[in-house]
Amino acid sequence: MTKDQLKKKVGENIIELRKKKGWSQSDLARACGKDRQAIEKIENGKVNSTVYTLLEIANSLEVDLYQLFKF
């Protein structure tokens, strides 16, 4: 798996988990203290997020961090 494929898969998992909660990107951004554009870039695999940022997102979605990395 390449770095770009990993970023894309993590983004797809975040989108799926966010939608299960019925949240918009703005809802998730507010919950984890980020701006909507940052969430959009993460979901689209455009940025290499830190583990801490991914942990904040996972905590906001009320899931374990590993769930963002399911393949």
pTM for the structure as a whole: 0.95
- pLDDT for the residue 19: 98
Of 66, 63, 60, 49, nearest to 27 by C-alpha is 60
Count of domains observed in the chain: 1
Whole-number Å distance between alpha carbons of 55 and 3: 19
pLDDT tens per residue, range 3-54 = 999 999 999 999 999 999 999 999 999 999 999 999 999 999 999 999 999 9
Which tokens belong to 43?
A: 């979901």
- pLDDT for the residue 54: 98
Query: What CATH number corresponds to the domain at position 26?
Result: 1.10.260.40
Cβ(67)–Cβ(13) below 8 Å: yes
Please give the residue range of the domain that contains residue 49: 3-69
